[in-house]
């Protein structure tokens, strides 16, 4: 970046220098021509007044001048050209009294010079006055050229230095952020990058990085807690089955092997249920989308209620034509988990309703049980979390049914929450309705 900035500054300085030197050169050339013209006009005036000397004086520093009579003879000249031939042979046109030409060199002189010729009408004919002055160098003067070069070089170096300094100061917080990120590991996920005091893009970058680290830290904490809980829940049925088998093997003759086998099968069933729920959660976590099948919620509820005999009375209030898009099997799993949870806690009745509210499809599953305290309503959606009442009613539960239901809702772009109710728990699922399916006209 400093090199690019320095190159741009150098290019700008070069352009400015060329324009400056060119302007000065043009001004100097104009001044020299005016001086040469002034000297020539002085000699013209001498001819008109009839007081032309044989040796012309040096006027305004013009060292080379000649006066030719009508026959082309040099009758007067500056000291360096006395006795010499005419320095030029061109004449002004009939329409003009003077003309300029550049001669390299004029006769009797050295180097390229601006030569002006004046035609002077006299009774005996047209006289000619020549005046010559050396052409100045393209750079005007050496002092000017050195000044311009020094100024350009100084400005370029200063620009590069200030750019580098600004970049270093600007990127210092970025380097600090990079260094901190490089040292953050899974075992030190609580560390955060430094936030600079300035309110600019780098500060927003640091704040975004810290927000991302907060989410990653929370995800790691959930993963650690999930792993710990999963290990405990998986270990319990394995430990129970192992203990029963070891006890039976210690006294094989007195063991009730059918009863032992039945108890081991119960442990294996619980283990299988936990593994199945873990696999379901893993698939939900990895799924990119939830499918694009049209699912009529009222028909889905009717089908799932008809699949099995329920221990409690189930009342339904189903609006027809409430259609969503998604995976039918996943939505059926969500509904089954909610129904199972409601039946586990219900005293005598479970109610299910489906309704359309604007752009949303709303499915509600409620029971008349003890309900869930407001402070525990988010807790029950955490993996492997089971409230005391749930453990008492169903010791074989996995604590993954409600978390799976919420993940399915999220994968379908919806929400699953627990709403207030007079009795029991009331689970509310909200999903976006399929476009053009039963929406009210606006």
At 315-326, the pLDDT tens digits run 999 999 999 999
pLDDT value at 2 more than 60:
no
pLDDT value at 117 more than 60:
yes
* Average pLDDT of span 291-313: 85
- Quick one: pLDDT at residue 441? 41
Tens-digit pLDDT profile for residues 55-76: 899 888 888 999 999 998 999 9
| Cis? peptide before 105, omega within 30° of 0 | yes
Cα separation, 210 vs 229, in Å, equals: 28
**Residue 264 main-chain phi, psi, to 5 deg:** -65, -40
Looking at the DSSP bridge assignments, the partners of residue 356 are 361
- To the question of domain 1-134 being in CATH 3.30.450.20, the answer is yes
pTM exceeding the 0.75 threshold for the entire prediction: no
Establish how many alpha carbons lie within 13 A of residue 154's alpha carbon, considering only the half-sphere containing its beta carbon.
Answer: 6
Asked whether 130 and 116 are in contact (CB, 8 A), the reply is yes
- To the question of domain 290-432 being in CATH 3.30.565.10, the answer is yes
Cα separation, 336 vs 278, in Å, equals: 17
Helix (H) or strand (E) holding 152: helix 142-183
CATH number of 184-288: 1.10.287.130
Tens-digit pLDDT profile for residues 199-225: 778 788 888 888 888 888 777 776 776
- Quick one: pLDDT at residue 185? 67
Asked whether 245 and 264 are in contact (CB, 8 A), the reply is yes
Asked whether 185 and 217 are in contact (CB, 8 A), the reply is no
- Quick one: pLDDT at residue 442? 38
Lowest mean pLDDT among 242-246, 344-348, 390-394: 390-394
- Residue ranges of domains in the chain: 1-134, 184-288, 290-432
Residue 116, classified by CB atoms within 10 Å of its CB into exposed (0-12), middle (13-18) or buried (19+), is buried
Q: How sure is the predictor about 6, in pLDDT bands with cuts at 50, 70 and 90?
A: low
Asked whether 170 and 202 are in contact (CB, 8 A), the reply is yes
Tens-digit pLDDT profile for residues 373-389: 888 888 888 877 766 66
């Amino acid at each position: 970046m400093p090199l690019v900035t320095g190159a741009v500054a150098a290019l700008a300085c070069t352009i400015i220098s060329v324009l400056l030197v060119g302007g000065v050169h043009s001004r100097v050339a104009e001044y020299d021509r005016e001086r040469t013209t002034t000297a020539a006009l002085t000699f013209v005036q001498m001819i008109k007044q009839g007081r032309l000397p044989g040796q012309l004086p040096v006027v305004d520093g013009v060292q080379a001048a000649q006066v030719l009579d009508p026959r082309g003879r040099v009758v007067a000249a500056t000291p360096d050209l006395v006795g010499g031939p005419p320095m030029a042979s061109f004449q002004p046109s009939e329409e003009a009294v003077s003309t300029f030409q550049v001669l390299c060199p004029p006769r009797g002189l050295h180097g390229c010079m601006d030569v002006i010729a004046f035609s002077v009408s006299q009774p005996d004919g047209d006289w000619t006055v020549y005046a010559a002055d050396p052409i100045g160098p393209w750079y005007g003067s050496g002092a000017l050229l050195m000044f311009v070069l020094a100024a350009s070089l100084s400005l370029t170096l200063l620009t590069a230095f200030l750019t580098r300094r600004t970049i270093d100061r600007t990127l210092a917080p970025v380097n600090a952020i990079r260094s901190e990120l490089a040292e953050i590991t899974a075992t030190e996920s609580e560390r955060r990058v430094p936030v600079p005091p300035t309110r600019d893009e780098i500060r927003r970058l640091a704040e975004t990085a810290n927000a991302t680290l907060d989410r990653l830290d929370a995800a790691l904490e959930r993963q650690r807690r999930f792993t710990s809980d999963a290990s405990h829940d998986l270990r319990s049925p394995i430990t129970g089955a192992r203990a029963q088998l070891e006890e039976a093997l210690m006294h094989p003759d007195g063991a009730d092997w059918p009863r032992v086998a039945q108890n081991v099968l119960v442990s294996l069933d619980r283990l299988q249920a936990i593994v199945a729920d873990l696999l379901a959660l893993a698939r939900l976590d990895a799924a990119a989308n939830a499918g694009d099948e049209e699912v009529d919620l009222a028909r889905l509820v009717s089908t799932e209620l008809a699949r099995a005999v329920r221990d409690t009375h189930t009342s339904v209030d189903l609006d027809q034509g409430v259609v969503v898009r998604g995976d039918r099997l996943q939505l059926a799993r969500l509904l089954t988990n909610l129904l199972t949870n409601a039946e586990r806690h219900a005293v005598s009745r479970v109610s299910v309703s489906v309704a359309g509210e604007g752009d949303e499809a709303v499915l509600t599953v409620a029971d008349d049980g003890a309900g869930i305290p407001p402070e525990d309503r988010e807790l029950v959606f955490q993996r492997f979390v089971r409230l005391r009442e749930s453990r008492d009613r169903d010791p074989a539960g996995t604590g993954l049914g409600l978390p799976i239901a919420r993940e399915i809702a999220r994968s379908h772009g919806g929400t699953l929450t627990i709403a207030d109710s007079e009795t029991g728990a009331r689970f509310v699922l909200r999903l976006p309705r399929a476009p053009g399916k039963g929406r009210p006209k606006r």
